[in-house]
Amino acid sequence: MGNRTVNKLSIQSDPELQSALLQFYEQYTTCLDDVDFDRWPTFFTPDAKYQITSRENFARGLPIAAMSCDGVGMIKDRVTALVKVLVYEPRIWRRYVSSVRIDAIEGDIIRSRGNFLLFESMMDREPQLNMLGEYVDKVLYRDGLFRFKERSCVYDNYRIQTTLFAPV
Amino acid sequence: MLETSSTPNTYKWPTEGVTRIPSWIYSDQEIFRRELETFHYGESWNYIGLECEIPTAGSFKRSWIGPRCVLATRDANGQVHVVENRCAHRDSQLTWKESGQFDSQVMICPYHNWTYDLAGNLKTMPFFRGCAGNPGMPADFDRKKNSLKQLRVATRGGTIWATYSERAPDFVDFVGPEILPWFDRLFNGKPLKLLGIARQIVPCNWKFYTDNTHDGYHAALLHTFIPKFGLWRPDGDYHQIPTENGRHVLYRIGYSKELQNTRNEVTKELRVLESDFKLADPSVVTQHKDEFGDMHNSAFQIFPSTVVQQFFSSLTVRHIVPKSAISHEISWNFFGYEDDDAEMTKARVRHSNLVGPSGFISAEDTEIIAQIQPAVNEYHSNHVIEMGGKGTEAAHTMISESAIRAFYDFYRTEMRL
Amino acid sequence: MSTAGWIPVAATSEVGAGTMVGTQGGGQSIALFNVDGTYYATSNICTHQFAHLSDGWFEGCMVECPLHAGQFDVRTGKGLGPPITSDVRTFPVRVVGDMIEVYLG
């Protein structure tokens, strides 16, 4: 995350900052695509909030989410569950992120958003778009590193398809 | 599973009775239609929503009874109505929204502006009386006969239910005396607060889901989170009780902190009970507050439409919505109380990670049943349901399929199979 | 009220007892009503969804909008229940000779 040093955290339209942030977003999705789940919690601050929730709940300000982590401990427990406990059909998940944009910068917090697609390729049938939506984030930039302080994966889907196992 | 030579067209239940379930009930289109007519559109009360979702005059919420779309509305007198979201004119939907507010206390169909009051009575349509000397509707047009389909409504403790049937018993009698106290325990008159709704679409017959909710047997075997993190064990205080001749089922589970961490003769049989897995944040499996004062987790199914569940601080109504013979939707309607403090709301959200479409102890349910559907589409087999014996009585262990047998005893009677 | 504010809008012969007429005056769309020989005037635009009231139904002292059956008392402009949430504007009326005039203010 954030290999490139960004000197100024003040100008929203700074192309260097935009580029570094996009790289951070893509490093995050690549980590998940690579099933490098042990590294996934390292993208977050210790007190991070992470949720995967519907547009319906998010727009209404309702707190329930399909996955709701308060603190990196709960994010790590999602990894434990996914890797060691939960039973599910094998598949390949692949994520695409685009339209990463900075909405505001408040001190060392970047408020940013991006679009995501989550595709699912099952072992005995065709790939499908499983989920799509918007990342709504607060990214901490400190000591040359980006980390998510808050990440909401707000899916546009009316309904989750069967079950949601994958982090987004 | 045994192959059988009987074909779906004969609709003959296996001679062994309820220790067998013929797989054609999970794929046959005619059986699906007959189930809707018998249960959802028959003498059953169907879950619609929570009263707190329609707080003001003119507010509405969309809901479903099987594949039928309905609207719950609240009129200016505070009364709740449930009507089909289907214009009496050309079957158009009156609204495409999940929830909202009707202006001016009328519902106006977007197609020809047929105008209904909030109870669903047709008031008029444009140029009802004609225009510029041209005739409108004929004199024998009866607005009463061309109103929205209006259902019979019951509310209790902040929940809304509807039935198509004038003959259905009162809601309290439908629920029955065994489940009613557990219902009133959660819906106790304190104003409710919606915390959020999570929805899933599952590509299989809806009865696989209702079977799953009658199936304590699978819980600690499929949901390995449960024994691995000490949420259950075979020697725990566990009861699964079919009620109303098998129509509904009640679960009550005594929660004991001491037992959670004990290993003994019983648990050593269960290979999945490990102490190697540790949670970084065990608050998700720790009770926040025994708010009901009875150290219990509880769930009950009010067939055909809901499972109401309290697991630690997570309170939810699961709304089961058949869409076709091979698909159904589940919505998890999470709620709390208006007087919950911030810590309680946080606990409810934290514990909701255990349940729902990504729940630690529920996620695999829909995953496993979805992948059964292709097999029942292809094969006609009889599922053997004999764990715990052959009877239909209440069980005081998770290791029993008695509740499934009790349900199909009820199902066969109602469906005349 | 100054004479300049009064606009002739219709002949009395055009608005018989128990009838209503839609007309224009001073750039406004106006509905005229004859209630047992007394004339009343309101805006001709329904406050609900803006249809012409004069295309609707008039009985007694009540006009009903042709679109969604919103009703008003023509004497006061008051809305008489859902879907009407706002009253309709009324105008003072006088008869000068054989012309009906309304005061637009």
Domain membership flag for residue B230: yes
pLDDT score of B236: 75
Are residues B132 and C55, on separate chains, in Cβ contact within 8 Å? yes
pLDDT score of A31: 98
Over the stretch B11-31, which tens digit does the pLDDT of each residue have? Answer: 899 999 999 999 999 999 999
pLDDT score of B367: 95
What residue ranges define each of the domains in chain A, with the CATH number in brackets? 15-155 (3.10.450.50)
Over the stretch C65-96, which tens digit does the pLDDT of each residue have? Answer: 999 999 999 999 999 999 999 999 999 999 99
The number of distinct structural domains making up chain B is: 2
Residues B188 and B333 in one domain: yes
Residue with tokens 């065709």: A126
Give B352's contacts in chain A (Cβ within 8 Å).
Answer: 64-65, 68
Domain membership flag for residue B256: yes
Residues B56 and B119 in one domain: yes
Residues B122 and B63 in one domain: yes
Closest by alpha carbon to B306, among B160, B150, B157?
Answer: B160
Mean pLDDT over B63-86 rounds to 98
Q: What are the residue ranges of helices labelled H in A34-104?
A: 55-59, 72-80
pLDDT score of B140: 96
Cβ within 8 Å of residue C101, ≥6 positions away:
C6, C7, C8, C9, C93, C94, C95
Report pTM: 0.92
CATH code where residue B77 lies: 2.102.10.10
Over the stretch B109-124, which tens digit does the pLDDT of each residue have? Answer: 999 999 999 999 999 9
CATH code where residue B350 lies: 3.90.380.10
Domain membership flag for residue B304: yes
What residues of chain A score a pLDDT lower than 50? 1-8
pLDDT score of B3: 38
Domain membership flag for residue B6: no
Domain membership flag for residue B262: yes
Final residue of a structural domain among B121, B155, B189: B155
Q: Is B142 on the interface with C (CB under 8 A)?
A: no
pLDDT band at C105 (very low <50, low <70, confident <90, very high): confident
Share of chain C above pLDDT 70, in %: 96
Q: Is the pLDDT of residue B392 over 90?
A: yes
Classify domain C3-103 at the CATH superfamily level. Answer: Rieske [2Fe-2S] iron-sulphur domain (2.102.10.10)
Q: Is B123 on the interface with C (CB under 8 A)?
A: yes
Of the candidates A57, A66, A80, the beta carbon closest to that of B358 is on A66
How many A×B Cβ pairs under 8 Å?
121
Residues B146 and B232 in one domain: no
Give A56's contacts in chain B (Cβ within 8 Å).
Answer: 98, 197
Q: Is A154 on the interface with B (CB under 8 A)?
A: no
Cβ within 8 Å of residue B46, ≥6 positions away:
B40, B65, B161, B162, B163, B304, B305
Domain membership flag for residue B18: no
Give B196's contacts in chain A (Cβ within 8 Å).
Answer: 53-54, 57, 60, 62-65
Mean pLDDT over B194-202 rounds to 98
Instruction: State the CB neighbour count (10 A cutoff) for residue B68.
Output: 18
Q: Is A134 on the interface with B (CB under 8 A)?
A: no
Residue type, B140: D
CB B54, CB B61: distance < 8 Å: yes
How far is residue B170's CA from residue B44's CA, in Å, rounded to a whole number? 10
pLDDT score of B216: 84
Cβ within 8 Å of residue B328, ≥6 positions away:
B201, B202, B204, B205, B206, B209, B320, B321, B322
Domain membership flag for residue B128: yes
pLDDT band at B218 (very low <50, low <70, confident <90, very high): confident
Angle subtended at Cα B190 by Cα B99 and Cα B187, rounded to the nearest 5 degrees = 75
Q: Token digits for A18? A: 């935009």
The residue among B278 and B364 whose pLDDT is bigger is B364
Domain ranges of chain C: 3-103
Of the candidates A69, A76, A160, the beta carbon closest to that of B357 is on A160
Over the stretch B339-381, which tens digit does the pLDDT of each residue have? Answer: 999 999 999 999 999 999 999 999 999 999 999 999 999 999 9
Q: Is B133 on the interface with C (CB under 8 A)?
A: no
Over the stretch C36-64, which tens digit does the pLDDT of each residue have? Answer: 999 999 999 999 999 999 999 999 999 99
Residues B283 and B199 in one domain: yes
Distance of residue B13 Cα from the nearest chain C Cα, in angstroms: 55
Are residues A74 and B225, on separate chains, in Cβ contact within 8 Å? no
Q: Is the pLDDT of residue B7 over 50?
A: no
Q: Which residue range(s) make up the domain with B185?
A: 177-415
Of the candidates A84, A89, A165, the beta carbon closest to that of B371 is on A89
pLDDT score of A3: 41
Nearest CA in chain B to C48: B104
Are residues A158 and B366, on separate chains, in Cβ contact within 8 Å? no
pLDDT score of B1: 40
CB B24, CB B377: distance < 8 Å: no
Q: Is the pLDDT of residue B262 over 80?
A: no
The residue among B254 and B40 whose pLDDT is bigger is B40
The residue among B285 and B276 whose pLDDT is bigger is B285
Residues B209 and B311 in one domain: yes
Residues B182 and B139 in one domain: no
pLDDT score of B223: 84
CB C72, CB C88: distance < 8 Å: yes
CB A78, CB A84: distance < 8 Å: no
Domain membership flag for residue B226: yes
pLDDT score of A4: 45
Give C83's contacts in chain B (Cβ within 8 Å).
Answer: 103-106, 108, 115
Share of chain B above pLDDT 90, in %: 81
Provide the chain C residues 41-60 that lie in CB contact (below 8 A) with chain B.
48, 51, 55-57
pLDDT band at B139 (very low <50, low <70, confident <90, very high): very high
